[in-house]
Amino acid sequence: MPLRIQSEAGLLGSVALVVALSLTGGAAAQTQPNPADVKKHETTPGGQYQPSLDVLGEKAVEQPGTKPGSPQLSEAEFKRANQIYFERCAGCHGVLRKGATGKPLTTDVTKKNGYEYLRDFITYGSPAGMPNWGTSNELTKDEVDLMARYLLNDPAQPPEFGMAEMRASWKVVVPVEQRPTKQMNKLDIDNLFSVTLRDTGEVALIDGATKQIVTRLKTGYAVHISRISASGRYLYVIGRDAKINLIDLWMETPATVAELKVGNEARSVETSKYKGYEDKYAIAGAYWPPQYVLMDGATLEPLKIVSTRGMIYDEQTYHPEPRVASIVASHFKPEFLVNVKETGKIRLVDYSDIKNLKETEIEAERFLHDGGFDSSKRYFMVAANARSKVAVVDMKESRLVKVIDTKGQTPHPGRGANFVHPKYGPVWATGHLGDETITLIGTDPEKHPKEAWTVVQTLSGQGGGSLFLKTHPKSHYLYVDTTLNPEPEIASSVAVFDIKDLGQDKPKYKVLPIGEWSGIKEGQRRVVQGEFNKDGTEIWFSVWNGKSQESAIVVVDDQTLKLKNVIKDKSLVTPTGKFNVLNTRDDIY
């Protein structure tokens, strides 16, 4: 939903009654809340951003038998409820309803509270992060009723996905021996952009100089990220349906040369970067089943599957579905860093001998999500977003350095932003989903030891709902989007801070009206994910609209902060993430 149910005053009756309303006990009063109370429970930008398992929602799942005392659901009702749950609820409450960032919704809990309690919380939500699905009209009254009854039945068990299923999905389109031995096109590959066309199941390769679409390639559904091999030759993209496409950029027209599915839902892929292992291996992590997969880097042949099921680091209780979030490749060792969301553990996977695989397990913080390297690439910074922390890992010494409170609500850095602060030296920055805070963390323990691994400054941006922020070593600007902000004007613009002015008290920002510059008049025009070209002279923003509406990419001159280009094409349907080959390959952000 996500159904994060906690005690809230003024929602379902008197304060005395509501104090008892947590998912661990209490019954809902049958009183109608007044409009002011309903207003308090509107979904925040942070609450909007929850990982939907929209592909898993389409899977056929066997309906559990109805136990005595549970509401009977028809086959059609179960199918619809299961789809709503995976698309709206599982991201917080887990595929098996055992809880994650949200509370458990197993039947021992839901039956204790009863139908009316569930119905009203689904309807009105809570300020703690539970969306107001009913009053926001995201769910109809009948759908709210359906979901309340669904939660009183046992959860469905989605299918596993092992080596047999992977090998059945594996396809080598062009064998290695039939591929070019040199670049066969005249593209400046380092300045190509891989652009996700979310709702068409494609990526578009756009030339950074001409701004022309080189080709569009069919991929998995809603590509989450693009990653580049160490040589710069291969592009790996992974869809939410866990399908990986391996694209050879040396071909006359870049094309898919291999495919593989690594599960039913996934988000992450990466390739080996350490010297001597360039292009040798790839790794992908799945949301369901909870596991990661090591593959041959040139063919995607699945070589080893490792489950992430296990104990939560602090509670030492078993978790059945810890999802794999972001993955990065070390520049210091033949290791992949794998972030396991629900257990709060970081796994450093030594790929020098995958037959006798070695892992270093680091206890960090729960709900690990996204992150990136500092400017030296020695330290990896990852947001534990539901706990508003950032964990720092030393990739050279393979150890946890520190867990830092970001002083904001729900950090979402993407890969973050590295720059030299005029007062505090090298810093790494993150924005937040839940509020306007932009947090700067010192990253230089040698020359700036007092500032290292501390919050040296917080900036105030336009508001909550920030997904990405960006800068470049050649730029003196920090760009911050507010994609999920409920105010259309804020969601369609970006805030720009002059790094040279950050030594002042309360630095101000300039607003760039990206949505207005696009020339698009209809839709929400959400602006998302700035990405620099290879020279660091211009930054590209997606203007992300509905599937049936016009979208665009707006290019801004970094020196003047003026509009430079607008890329429009009927085939640019719901463009979101953009990944420049050079910057992505070399971890420049």
78 backbone dihedrals φ, ψ, rounded to 5°: -60, -45
Would you call 392 helix, strand, or coil by DSSP? strand
What are the φ and ψ backbone dihedral angles of 93, each rounded to 5 degrees?
Answer: -105, -5
- Give the SS3 label for residue 188: coil
**Residue 319 tokens, joined:** 């978790």
Q: CA-to-CA distance for 135 and 125, rounded, in angstroms?
A: 9
476 neighbors 537 (Cβ within 8 angstroms): no
Which pair of structure tokens corresponds to residue 20? 């008892």
Closest residue by Cα to residue 358 from 294, 299, 273, 271 = 294
| Block residue for tokens 């991201």 | 91
Distance CA 228, CA 236 (A): 6
- Per the listing, tokens 């002011």 go with 36
Residue ranges of alpha helices (H) inside 403-460 are: none
The token duo for 366 is 């729960």
The DSSP H or E segment spanning 340 is strand 335-340
CB 413 within 8 A of CB 430: yes
**Is residue 550 within 8 Å of residue 522, measured between CB atoms?**
yes
Catalytic residues: 89, 92-93, 130, 369, 412
Q: How many helices (H) and strands (E) does the chain have?
A: 12, 35
What SS3 class is residue 47?
helix
Encoded amino acid at 472, one letter? H
Give the pairing type, strands 469-470 and 477-481: antiparallel
DSSP character at residue 432: B
Give the 3-state secondary structure of residue 384. strand
Q: 500 and 446 in contact (C-beta within 8 Å)? A: no
Strands (E), 407-482: 417-421, 425-430, 437-442, 455-460, 469-470, 477-481
Contact 531, 579 (CB under 8 A): yes
| Distance between CA atoms of residues 239 and 236, nearest Å | 10
Quote helix, strand, coil % in the chain, to nearest 5.
15, 35, 50
Q: CB-based contacts of 48: which residues, under 8 Å, 6+ apart?
A: 131, 433, 465, 484
| Strand pairing category for 358-363 and 368-373 | unpaired
The rounded radius of gyration (Å) of the Cα atoms in the chain is 24
Burial of 566 from C-beta contacts in 10 A (0-12 / 13-18 / 19+): middle
User: β-pairing, 243-248 with 234-238?
Assistant: antiparallel
The three-state secondary structure class of 2 is coil
